[in-house]
Amino acid sequence: MGKRTAIVTGGTRGIGEEISKQLSKQGYQVVANYASNDERAKQFEQSSGIPVMKWDVSSFEECQKHAAEIQAKYGTVSVLINNAGITRDTTMQRMSYDQWRDVIMTNLDSCFNMSRAVIDGMRGQKFGRIVNIGSVNGQMGQYGQVNYAAAKSGIHGFTKALAQENAKKGITVNAIAPGYVDTDMVRAVPEDVLAKIIQRIPIGRLGKASDIARAVLFLTADDAEFITGATLTINGGQYMTS
C-alpha cells in the first residue's frame, strides 16, 4: 500500500508547518496548502520536501478543484487538518463588513469547503481523520474579536455535528482549541497586551507549534478511533484562570 494522503490547510508556516512536518514524519504523503506567501511556501517546500499547493480555502470552488487534483495524484485523502486561519481584530463598533466576512469565510467556511471535498472519499474507504483548529478565544470570547470568536466557536459546533454524521464510517472529527501559540499571528499582538496574556497562563509561557502538532498526531492515530466530537483544549492552563 502506498502512503496515505493528508492535507494541511495553512500548512506552510506557524502551527500548520509543524503539523505538516510531523504528519510527514509519520509516513503520510502530506500536501501543505497556503494562500499568498509564495516565498515562505517555497522555502518550506525546499527544506521539508513536502509539496505545497496554493489556493484560497474561503472559496468553495477552489477547495473542490484542488482537493480533486490532490486525490487524483495521491489517492483518497485520509487526514484533513483544517488549520488555515486569519485575524482582523477590532472592536465590533469599528469592524467593517469585510473584516467580519473575511474572518468567517477563511476560518469557518473553509472547514465546510474542505471537509465537503474529502468526505465522500473517506466514507468510501471507511477511514478518515478530520481535525479542526479552533481557539481558546472561541471558547471564552475575546475583546476585539467578535469575528474570530464567532468563527472559532462555530468550528466547535461544526466538529460535533460532523462527528455524529460520520461516526459509523470509521471517520473521527475532532477539534483542538489552542491558547496563545508563538507564531506570526501572535507576534502581531501588541507587546503590552501579550505580556498581560502571558501573566494569565499558569505554565508561564506561550505555546509552541509543536505543542499543538503532537495533539494532532494523537487524534489522527489509527487507534484513536474512539475519540470523536472532542475538543482538546491546549493552553498552558489559561482557560482555568481567565
* Chain positions contacting ligand NDP, by CB under 6 A: 9-10, 12-16, 33-37, 40, 56-58, 83-86, 106-107, 133, 135, 178, 180-181, 183-186
Active site residue 239: no
Residues 107 and 150: their CA atoms lie apart, in Å, by: 10
Q: Which of 28, 34, 74, 148 is catalytic?
A: 148
Residues 159 and 84: their CA atoms lie apart, in Å, by: 16
DSSP the chain: --PPEEEETT-SSHHHHHHHHHHHHTT-EEEEEESS-HHHHHHHHHHH---EEE--TT-HHHHHHHHHHHHHHH-SEEEEEE---------GGG--HHHHHHHHIIIIIHHHHHHHHHHHHHHHHT-EEEEEE--HHHHH--TT-HHHHHHHHHHHHHHHHHHHHHGGGTEEEEEEEE--BSSHHHHTS-HHHHHHHHHT-TT-S-B-HHHHHHHHHHHHSGGGTT--S-EEEESTTHHHH-
Q: Are strands 5-8 and 29-34 parallel, antiparallel or unpaired?
A: parallel
User: Among residues 84 and 171, whose Cβ is nearest to ligand NDP?
Assistant: 84
Q: What's the min distance (Å) between Cβ of 122 and ligand NDP?
A: 21
Q: What's the min distance (Å) between Cβ of 15 and ligand NDP?
A: 4
Residues carrying an active site annotation: 148
